[in-house]
Amino acid sequence: MRGRQVRVTISHTSDTSSASVRDYKFADYFERKVLQKRPYLRKEWCIAVVERPTRSEPQGDSRCRFWAPIPELGGRYLRVITLADKVTILNAFPDRGFKP
């Protein structure tokens, strides 16, 4: 699966230093379908969820799931799906059924 590399610096409000810079890839599906269907989503939110999840777990098909609340979404939890490498983002959506 091909993806685009994007270098993003995320700063967390809990401290004044920025998180380490990592290369993240966004699958073509994410770029063409997910962002088109959900134009309100931000790549920075997806990266923040992967870097500081409330919960994460393997999905069972060489993918991983991550959840974290996003203040800009009214505190709703965003679920982000990555490949097993945890840097290739495949999908993201507000998860209405997530219970912390």
**Would you say the pTM of this structure is higher than 0.85?**
no
Contact assessment for residue 79 and residue 66, using Cβ atoms and an 8 Å cutoff: yes
Please state the rounded mean pLDDT for residues 83-95: 97
Q: Give the tens place of pLDDT for each residue, 74-83.
A: 999 999 999 9
Query: Which two structure tokens, joined as six digits, stand for 26?
Result: 């966004």
Q: Give the tens place of pLDDT for each residue, 29-82.
A: 999 999 999 999 999 999 999 999 999 999 989 999 999 999 999 999 999 999
Sheet holding 77-83, edge to edge: 3-8, 22-27, 88-94, 77-83, 63-69, 55-58
Q: How far apart are CA 62 and CA 75, in angstroms?
A: 28
- CA angle, 18 as apex, 14 and 24 as ends, to 5°? 115
- Does the pLDDT of residue 11 top 50, yes or no? no
CA 8 to chain centre: 12
1-5, 68-72, 91-95: least confidently modelled range:
1-5
